[in-house]
Chain A
């Protein structure tokens, strides 16, 4: 035994090489992380640089025009607000309802299984396909026409998986002990859901709702399929009016060759991003507040 070299002596850990390799890799990984961060910074800087000169009150309050210096995005802005309101009104009850059913009511059987697989699949369907669905189903078969309502219904279907998944997660986070305590006091299932589960899951549901809405108002492709027309000089006054939205207005400006219109596009992007980022900020605020409370 003593004559044989010990296992330890036979090892060749090459520690310094491995450590060097480790630090090289570390910097490669860091560089990869920076790709995303730098891209975001460059993108935002570029947009601000190009867009800020075009921002003014009349840009918000005027309709589009052939003349860049007179063009504004009033019709698109109001269209986006309409879409936001209608989509919220449709998705919140349906999305939360579906989530409550899946988490609180549905027995674990083939039916709930199908719904579950189906929802994850829907989340991966390209948005333009929803546009084609809306075009066929709402615009043509239901004869709603190329209206705000048709656009909102289409986007509702598009963001439904997002809000369902987020609400389910929020509902799943409600401790079972709360439900048990509720039942033990003689509450029925609906009372437990309404008085305990939904209030406790509310912050998570709200966060999911906001994220879903911000997805909806950033989408251009499905709305192009629905609305087609992209040059409007009026503001929709009821759900059966024609409409356009910010991303489409931005798209029309981007696709013009003149530099002035590119500047307008950048300015339009600033308006859109301000709306989106403030929605995100609200969502993050809600989430942090909720996390703090649940940690107590």
Chain B
């Protein structure tokens, strides 16, 4: 990681150039506090470029908290505090000089429940571009994002109708399109399918598999099968005795699901506790 920080002085690290460039994000000794309560402790992990990382673990293990560190959404929670570092392309996202809104433009997020704004479909996708001062062709950018999220064909004739008229699955794909519009390198997904029916869920999973060609995705999920289906790597978190979440192990998804190194992981995956 030290090496990576030095390299970041060049403006645009190119993927695959060196060992560290394989990783777009990394957490170093990361702990999150809410007041006096430590929610997660001492997380160290690397996120490989153009891969899907699944975060799994029982309720309250801090998966969502960890996820929200990668785009500093935890800053919005009162009395929250982060120790350690999140390195993005060689820059610490929690450095005092880093602007949290810029972080969020670079690391996008999709939420548990579809949350389109009560605006038109077009305005939803254009929102991020507008707030970030986009001066290019808005129409093109919106169309590109909607195509990437496989929604274009379904909505191209009604871009000016309210986003709230879409079905749940469509709304979630719209939220993905909205996140894609500003071209984040990383997309965080917080149980994106938990409010959707099985058909819509499969559509989102397909989408994730396509998106990974260009983007890096970190997904929190309660659904083991989903983690197995879409992710390349899986991180398993547990709640410690101090009620803080910690990382038990992280490895290739195949290995985690077939031959985990820790007994706890196996117990969780085979459903012996949850």
Q: What residues make up the interface of A, taking CB atoms closer than 8 Å to B?
A: 107-108, 175, 177-178, 180-188, 191, 195-196, 199-200, 293, 296
| Minimum Cβ distance to chain B for residue A177 (Å) | 4
Query: A182–B101 Cα gap in the complex (Å)?
Result: 10
User: Closest approach, in angstroms, between the C-beta of A39 and any C-beta of chain B?
Assistant: 41
Extra inter-chain contacts (6) besides given A182-B127, A185-B108, CB under 8 Å: A175-B115, A177-B113, A182-B117, A182-B131, A185-B128, A185-B179
Q: Report yes or no: B73 in contact with A180, Cβ–Cβ below 8 A.
A: yes
Structural contact, A180 and B131, CB atoms closer than 8 A = no
Expressed in whole angstroms, the Cα–Cα distance for A185 and B104 within the complex equals 6
Residues A183 and B104 in contact, CB atoms below 8 Å apart: yes
7 contacts between A and B (CB under 8 A): A108-B78, A183-B104, A184-B73, A186-B102, A187-B127, A195-B127, A195-B130
**Assembly CA distance A107 to B182 (angstroms):** 31
Interface residues of B in 99-118 (CB under 8 A from A): 101-106, 108-109, 111, 113, 115-118
**Pairwise interchain contact B115-A185, C-beta atoms closer than 8 A:** no
| Bound CA–CA A202/B178 (angstroms) | 24
- Judging by beta carbons under 8 Å apart, are B115 and A186 in contact? no
Q: Most A CB atoms within 10 A — which of B76, B113, B118, B130? A: B118
Judged by a CB distance under 8 angstroms, whether B132 is at the interface is yes
Do B73 and A107 touch across chains, with their CB atoms under 8 A apart? no
B20 adjacent to chain A (CB < 8 Å): no
Q: Does B207 contact A (CB under 8 A)?
A: no
Q: How would residues 177 to 205 of chain B score, 1 for a CB under 8 Å from any chain A CB and 0 otherwise?
A: 01100100000000000000000000000
| B86 shortest CB reach to chain A, Å | 16
How far is it, in angstroms, between the C-alpha of A7 and the C-alpha of B71 when the chains are bound?
65
Q: Measured between alpha carbons, how far is A195 from B117 in the docked complex, in Å?
A: 10
Residue among B102, B127, B175 facing the most chain A CB atoms (10 A cut-off) = B127
Q: How far is the CB of A36 from chain B (nearest CB, A)?
A: 37
Taking a contact as CB atoms closer than 8 A, the residue among A108, A181, A183 that contacts B117 in the complex is A181
Please name the residue on chain B nearest to A296 by beta carbon. Answer: B164
Within B116-142, the residues touching A (CB, 8 Å) are: 116-119, 127-128, 130-132
Complex Cα–Cα for A296 and B164 (A)? 8
Residues of B within 8 A of A108 (CB): 78
B131 surroundings in chain A (CB, below 8 A): 182, 185-188, 191, 195
Residue of A nearest to B106 (CB): A186
A188/B175 contact (C-beta < 8 A), A180-B73, A180-B115, A195-B127 known: no
Interface size band for B: 20 to 34
Residues of A within 8 A of B108 (CB): 184-185
> Which A residues lie within 8 Å of B104 (CB)?
183-186
> Nearest 4 pairs between A and B by C-beta?
A186-B105, A185-B128, A177-B115, A184-B109
Q: Which residues of A contact B179 (CB under 8 A)?
A: 184-185
Q: In chain B, what residue has the closest Cβ to A180?
A: B111
Q: Is the beta-carbon distance between A183 and B164 smaller than 8 angstroms?
A: no
Roughly how many angstroms separate A187 CA and B104 CA in the complex, as a whole number?
8
A291 to chain B, nearest CB (A): 14
- Identify the interface centre among A186, A187, A191: most chain B CB within 10 Å of its CB: A186
In angstroms, Cα B123 to Cα A200, docked, is: 14
Chain B residues with CB under 8 A of A175: 115
Query: Nearest A residue to B113 by beta-carbon distance?
Result: A177
B115 pairs with A178, CB closer than 8 A: yes
Closest A-chain residue to B188, C-beta based? A184
Expressed in whole angstroms, the minimum distance between the Cβ of B73 and any Cβ of chain A is: 6
Query: In angstroms, how far is the closest chain A Cβ from the Cβ of B126?
Result: 10
Contacts of A180 in B (CB 8 A): 73, 76, 111, 115
User: Who on chain B is nearest to A178 by CB?
Assistant: B117
- Are B105's CB and A185's CB within 8 A? yes
State how many angstroms separate the Cβ of B127 from the closest Cβ of chain A.
6
Q: Which residues of chain A are within 8 angstroms of B118 by Cβ–Cβ distance?
A: 178, 200, 293
Q: Is the CB of B76 within 8 A of A185?
A: no
- Check B76 against A183 for contact (C-beta < 8 Å): yes
Once A183-B76, A186-B105, A188-B101 are accepted as A-B contacts, the answer to whether A177 and B178 lie under 8 Å apart by CB is no
Partner of A184, one of B71, B116, B119, B165: B71
User: Most B CB atoms within 10 A — which of A107, A184, A191, A196?
Assistant: A184
* A293 nearest in chain B by CB position: B118
Q: Distance in Å from the Cβ of B96 to the closest Cβ of chain A? A: 17
Residue contact A186 to B132, C-beta cutoff 8 Å = yes
Interface residues of B in 13-28 (CB under 8 A from A): none
A108 to B130, CA, bound (A): 31
